[in-house]
Structure 1
């Protein structure tokens, strides 16, 4: 195992180093850190609002009131539904600092640029009506994870243009004696005008197309390869490879793939549920329950296996603390803290197991059912937060619970060498930081006679 770990580190570490020295990828990595604590806090509120215990809502209502679920969901929505806004600000701020320009102004300009390219309309159906109206509003769909890809690109592009204009000297010069804050404000005026104008022209050009806005153009473009997929094993494998490839680049793969694939899976689930209710032979292996209960444990990438390995075997403080905070949400299917906190986004060391583990889960589960080792899923709709083992028993029987446990352990074995490489890298960084700090406060070499 140690030889394999050494080989893996030899292969992946140089790639990670190259990526880690790229200022744009550093900006994306550091930019996501602004949202990590908020996502962890929001995850716990989301879990409390959707705790998978029968009559959970009725148990809590006498204590917190009838609308307690809606109130409990507000902190979760406030963090998850503005994820892209936080990312845009964080990425632009980080890149601005690296480019040695006003980071706060960079963040503000990136946010304005993002809003310029985001549609200000949503579809609304009034109560007791079937008519759909287009109303002016900020759609939370694009403020959350669905708009993340465009948000990342806009943050990088707007900040780079802003820096280029400043470095060319196209700024308003102020006389000496003017307060620095006023100087910075006027220096940013012409570069900001250039960036906003470019974003306006881009938005105008896209508005001339049938799509109408850049958000829909990108989302439709990403979904196009998925439209021809069916409900076969091969189709599901391809869909999940796409899903995790999107997540690697910070795109909500579940939204992109799910919009195309989930309607098919829901229809197959209904067929199974009807057959189960009527006492007939259950027809379909691949269903919504098959996807939810066997492909991924703890969220996309089946990261519950990863987090367990992090808790048990990793030594760096960064990984251990994050894993301890992420374990409980992951048991209930919430893994945004680990996606953006480790991070998995744009992390080449974790990409291979992140895509491989769910794919292996799908293949093994499919053949376990095809060969009669595990019953087909019965189509019963469970809360999405139902933990593994319990979920398997409820949708397919004890055999499914055993299969889930085996798949989690197998996922741990696959993730182990990759996370150990990353853990060793973080451990070295922490040690170097400690040594640097010790050198800065080393009183043994301090000469008081020089004072």
Structure 2
């Protein structure tokens, strides 16, 4: 007898839906995403300057001089290494835009200035100030998130409290908007300056040191094997209820994974040992082979073994997108959402990829990701080589794909048999 009370699934969807669609989570996700094109551009020139083939490197050095790669990677410095700066502008802009009565451009410029104010400048003997560029990249990403979210909210609060200068209606909108941001911008920067000054009198000394102290333990967990397994389980589990699990989890964890990626890139450029296994590329290129749930293995099994007309048709439609890690046709067409027959392998397959890849990289059988942002739509084998700069990356992907297919095949055959039985039942009616 129905009680009218919402079940576990409904309560879960309601909570997760509120979190994933909240203005702050959307602003965080979209703001960091705006840095991705620049990261990819910088990665391309990093590959050109550090392509892992000795014959190529010797040829380029002989042709263009010993410092040719430094010149090439100036574009990397101007794009990839500005990740934090771009993120704070993007996060603030998207958050301010979500308030319909707020002009997002002044808000994002104030946030940018607040971000610069957190950076410990160095004054040289000639009186010039120097900014440590590392703080503009992934090192400053956590500060960028905090400034982008909280300082923008403080700015919006002052606008809503009418702590502004109102100009006559005859004044052009551009001038009027700039003066409207005067008082809120002043108090925002004053707040950051007071916090900076207060921290300078403590043993921690700087805001970046404080952020490192707070987030280093969380980062260590997020880039560990248990952390990777937990994150991947949540991604698949949420997808089973129709919630975009990657958006929810990445919105929280992307900052840690991007920072690990950038640290690997810096180590690779300096010809040092790469410090991290779990990075953004670890998930994009080795775990999510075919998309969330590692469904390329399922798509291949469908092409090979499908006997029902419905799954034969779906397999033909999905196999091409699957190679580019696009699997929405499978998730909603199979369907995988709320499907008890395929839920278990949908969770197990990506977890297996985490274990295989982590184990291979930890033991040296597979090279670690070198910090290159390989687009998530890059086909398997190609992405594995580009992400690691080594053939072992492609081989590891092939192993993962084979394991995924073996995990899916038995469950798919049962689902396919059930689909045939349903078709026969319909024909006999």
TM-score normalised by the chain length of structure 1: 0.56
Could you tell me which residue of structure 1 aligns to residue 343 of structure 2?
Answer: none
1:330-351 CA-to-partner distances (Å, cap 9, x unmatched) read xxxxxxxxxxxxxxxxxxxxxx
Distance 2:154 2:113 in 1: 14
Superposition pairs of residues 302-341 of structure 1, within 5 angstroms: 303-306=285-288, 308-309=290-291
Superposition pairs of residues 45-444 of structure 1, within 5 angstroms: 45-99=45-99, 100-121=101-122, 136-224=129-217, 237-238=225-226, 248-253=252-257, 299-301=281-283, 303-306=285-288, 308-309=290-291, 356=351, 359-361=354-356, 365=360, 377=364, 387=385, 391=390, 405-407=398-400, 409-410=402-403
1:155 Cα shift? 0.8
1:285-339 CA-to-partner distances (Å, cap 9, x unmatched) read xxx78x87xx5698333633425548966989xx989869xxxxxxxxxxxxxxx
Count of residues in correspondence between the two structures: 319
1:106 Cα shift? 0.5
Contact 1:105–1:188 (CA under 8 A) maintained in structure 2: yes
Contact 1:172–1:186 (CA under 8 A) maintained in structure 2: yes
1:139-159 CA-to-partner distances (Å, cap 9, x unmatched) read 122111121111011011111
1:15 Cα shift? 5.6
Distance 1:94 1:384 in 2: 27
SS of residue matched to 1:81 = helix
SS of residue matched to 1:171 = coil
Distance 1:14 1:413 in 2: 35
1:164 Cα shift? 0.7
1:19 Cα shift? 2.9
Compared CA separation, residues 91 and 390, structure 1 to 2 (3 A): closer
Which structure ranks higher in relative contact order (CA pairs < 8 Å, sequence separation ≥ 6)? 1
1:212 Cα shift? 0.8
Distance 2:261 2:83 in 1: 19
Contact 1:149–1:250 (CA under 8 A) maintained in structure 2: no
Moved more, 188-197 or 304-313: 304-313
Compared CA separation, residues 55 and 377, structure 1 to 2 (3 A): same
SS of residue matched to 1:52 = coil
1:246 Cα shift? 9.2
Distance 2:10 2:94 in 1: 29
1:165 Cα shift? 0.7
1:161 Cα shift? 0.8
Could you tell me which residue of structure 2 aligns to residue 22 of structure 1?
Answer: 22
Compared CA separation, residues 138 and 33, structure 1 to 2 (3 A): same
Compared CA separation, residues 116 and 296, structure 1 to 2 (3 A): closer
Compared CA separation, residues 357 and 19, structure 1 to 2 (3 A): farther
SS of residue matched to 1:299 = helix
SS of residue matched to 1:178 = coil
Compared CA separation, residues 189 and 258, structure 1 to 2 (3 A): closer
Instruction: In structure 1, list runs of 5 or more residues that go unmatched.
Output: 1-8, 124-134, 230-234, 264-269, 271-287, 325-351, 370-375, 394-399, 416-451
Compared CA separation, residues 188 and 137, structure 1 to 2 (3 A): same
Distance 1:56 1:47 in 2: 12
Distance 1:176 1:298 in 2: 49
Distance 2:71 2:35 in 1: 21
1:43-71 CA-to-partner distances (Å, cap 9, x unmatched) read 21111112121222112235444432112
Contact 1:85–1:111 (CA under 8 A) maintained in structure 2: yes
Compared CA separation, residues 411 and 74, structure 1 to 2 (3 A): farther
TM-score normalised by the chain length of structure 2: 0.59
Contact 2:32–2:87 (CA under 8 A) maintained in structure 1: yes
Compared CA separation, residues 357 and 76, structure 1 to 2 (3 A): farther
